Structure 1
Amino acid sequence: MDREVELREFVSARGAALSRAAYLLTGDHQAAEDLVQEVYVVLVRRWQKSGTIDPEAYVRRILYSRFIDGRRRRRLLEVPRATPPDAAGGDEAGALADRLTLRDAMARLTPRQRAVLVLRFYEDLTEPQTAAALGISPNTVKSQTRVALQRLRELAPDTVASFEGVES
């Protein structure tokens, strides 16, 4: 099969998942689109040379490396946010408020901590898989997960209940 056809098939099959992961990392649709575009640029440039490398792991590594490197360059300390809707609107409004609170708390984590949490709990990777995706040791994954979850518990104690008991 032609490598260009393989690339198109891979992008069409995994593009939506890549976009969702980018959104979870950035917390912003436009920033997620920009991140995915950066990943695609790198992927297209290196696709011919990637050969027998697992494309899923390769793209994941590019995504998380670009996110962490980009955050280091930008160093946005505070992102303006809209205030959550009034909680009197019922369960839907409460759920939205919880999502906004959790999103804001995630935005206050370091890029690596966010990447570890997204890989471990959204993409459901094991510690060794997460370590391989980020190019760090499994022990670093464990410690980053522990610190990130503790920080989330401090920032959003009522909305982090879904993480409780997962990892300490």
Structure 2
Amino acid sequence: MDDFDEFVRTRSTGLLRVAYLLTGDRGAAEDLLQDVLEQMCARWRRLRGGAPDAYARQAIVNRATNRWRKRKRRPETGLGDHDVRAPDHSDDVTLRESVVAALRQLPPRQRAAVVLRYLDDLPVGEVAAALDCSAGTVKSNTARGLEKLRAVLGPELVREGERQ
């Protein structure tokens, strides 16, 4: 199990970032990642010989998608005064929150394609494997997602993110 511990130490930060960008909520992202890591721990003997990174990303995408489906059936309610965030005036934080808010407006498949392709910097083939679809579907979902992000964030900001 030492290799599983090493996997968690080296990959959990990146996987948490993907989960956060898919859910838009830190707590939900941590819960999602914890569930996936528990699942992987139980199956580690079978996973370690293959591609545990790809498995983890696909499991995160699938669980996030299931979460979106459940939320559509049963809307979440705010906590009233307890749900108010203290404003942070840092430009980086404001930009990040704008991007996360814009990502929340995308349909689940487009959001997953954009997050995995540009924010997790995966090649099209790995994104297709994580989403269980063809490379062409990844490209079209990514193109549509970027188009919607440009409409919300502005074309200059989205172009700069594509270059990185």
TM-score by length of 2: 0.81
Unaligned runs of 5+ in 1: none
User: 1:74-111 CA deviation, whole Å, 9 max, x = no partner?
Assistant: 2277887868959xx6xx44x44333222211111112
In the aligned structure 2, how far is the partner of 1:79 from the partner of 1:41? 28
SS of equivalent to 1:164: helix
Structure 2 letter corresponding to 1:9: E
User: 1:2-48 CA deviation, whole Å, 9 max, x = no partner?
Assistant: xx222111111111111122112212110111111111122122212
In the aligned structure 2, how far is the partner of 1:153 from the partner of 1:82? 28
Q: Structure 1 residues 101, 78: CA separation in 2 closer, same or farther (over 3 Å shift)?
A: farther
Q: Which residue, out of 88, 95, 98, partners 1:98?
A: 95
Structure 1 residues 93-132: aligned runs within 5 Å: 93=91, 95-132=92-129
In the aligned structure 2, how far is the partner of 1:161 from the partner of 1:142? 21
Q: How many residues align?
A: 157
| Kept in 1: contact 2:106–2:145 (CA 8 A) | yes
Asked whether 1:163 is paired with 2:161, we answer no
- Per residue, is there more helix in 1 or in 2? 2
The residue aligned with 1:143 is 140
Q: Structure 1 residues 83, 135: CA separation in 2 closer, same or farther (over 3 Å shift)?
A: same
| Kept in 2: contact 1:85–1:97 (CA 8 A) | no
Shift of 1:155: 2.2
| Kept in 2: contact 1:84–1:96 (CA 8 A) | no
SS of equivalent to 2:111: helix
CA RMSD of aligned residues (A): 2.7
Q: Structure 1 residues 125, 39: CA separation in 2 closer, same or farther (over 3 Å shift)?
A: same
In the aligned structure 1, how far is the partner of 2:16 from the partner of 2:110? 19
